[in-house]
Amino acid sequence: MPLSVTALYVSLSALLMLVYAYGVVRIRKAEKIGLGSGDNKALEVAIRVHGNYLEYAPMFLLLFACAELNGLSPLLLHVFGASWLIGRVLHGIGLAEGRGGYHAGRFYGTLITWLLIVALALVNLGLWVFAAAQ
């Protein structure tokens, strides 16, 4: 039985999401902030790292799963999946180290994420058109 490439990257994405969630919880506990950010800059940044990840993950992972279902090669799926994780880690590091301001990791992480979403959308559209034309 062939293994699902999507299952691998959804699982790795879930673990990365928990790493980012833990960053929020760790600061909340240390600073005794139960709700909101309490005007704590480090907590605000951790919340945005986690939140930004959650804003992009569903669309990327849906497009990724559709690409696998539509027959995209496992090699290309691994390129997309690995690039996704690299981009999201770069963004998280860049946002945290830049403390919410400009940082190359934040810029390139966002760029990679956007390019991957556009590319997967176009791949899925192309696969759909090709299949519909046959």
127 and 67 in contact (C-beta within 8 Å)?
yes
- In this predicted structure, what is the pLDDT of residue 75? 97
Residue 100 predicted with pLDDT over 80: no
- In this predicted structure, what is the pLDDT of residue 93? 95
Mean pLDDT of the chain: 95
Number of domains in the chain: 1
Residue 41 sits in a domain whose CATH number is 1.20.120.550
- In this predicted structure, what is the pLDDT of residue 51? 97
Task: Measure the CA dihedral 71/120/125/57, to 10°.
Answer: 100
Cα angle 126-132-133, degrees, rounded to a multiple of 5: 90
- In this predicted structure, what is the pLDDT of residue 48? 96
pTM strictly above 0.85:
yes
Cα angle 58-105-108, degrees, rounded to a multiple of 5: 65
- In this predicted structure, what is the pLDDT of residue 101? 82
- In this predicted structure, what is the pLDDT of residue 86? 98
pLDDT digits over 39-97, tens only? 999 999 999 999 999 999 999 999 999 999 999 999 999 999 999 999 999 999 999 99
Which residue range is the domain that position 113 belongs to? Answer: 5-133
